[in-house]
Amino acid sequence: MITLDASGPLPPFEQIRSQLADQIEHEGLRAGDRLPTVRRLAEDLGVAANTVARAYRELETAGLIETRGRAGSFVAGSGVEREAREAARLYVERVRALGLDDRALLQLVTRLLGQPG
């Protein structure tokens, strides 16, 4: 969810850009997730469509989203780091579901990293 602070020092496009970037980088949004249309997000936030379009352009330039013409804008799927982070998140979630605590999880990974192969 994006919220704008009209009295804040950042212009609205930058608030939108930074909040979406944060959601993408910290797992709120995942690769392949579709973003709201420019018009829809502008209406929801009460800003001009050009404000959202500028935020989306900057996110696309940074490689965080991709626009597929009329299909819309999506969280970019490229990036080894993003894929590795997702794999690690799923691993942590699965190991915790098995009942292991974080210490045991780290010990497991440490042992595996020390093995050849």
In tens, the pLDDT along 65-92 reads: 988 888 999 998 766 666 776 788 788 8
The total of other beta-carbon atoms located within 10 Å of residue 41's CB is: 21
CATH classification (class only), 12-75: mainly alpha
Q: What is the pTM of this model?
A: 0.67
pLDDT at 68: 87
pLDDT at 82: 61
pLDDT at 90: 86
Whether the pLDDT of residue 110 is over 70: the answer is yes
In tens, the pLDDT along 12-59 reads: 999 999 999 999 888 789 888 999 999 999 999 999 999 999 999 999
CA distance to 72, 94, 114, per residue, from 104 (Å):
43, 13, 16
- Residue 73, H or E segment: strand 73-75
Residue 85 or 99, more confident: 99
pLDDT at 38: 97
Structural domain boundaries of the chain? 12-75, 80-113
pLDDT at 28: 83
